[in-house]
Amino acid sequence: ANKIILANREREKEEWAAASRPKTEKSAALEAITGSYRNQVERPR
């Protein structure tokens, strides 16, 4: 459970970093973040 919380914090840091970049990099970064998040969520446990 703690690993999930840490992963969420890292994701938030990446989103804040992406928000400060130009929009093209921001959209690419957010797509990568949401893609990895979906993979985590949809993976059977």
11 — pLDDT class (breaks 50, 70, 90): confident
Give the domain extent around 8.
2-42
User: Taking residues 19-39, what's their average pLDDT?
Assistant: 72
DSSP string, the chain: -HHHHHHHHHHHHHHHHHHTS-HHHHHHHHHHHHHHHHHHHHS--
pLDDT at residue 5 is higher than 70: yes
Q: How many structural domains comprise the chain?
A: 1
What is the rounded distance in angstroms from the CA atom of residue 42 to the CA atom of residue 44?
6
pTM: 0.34
Residue that is written with structure tokens 């992963």 in the block: 7
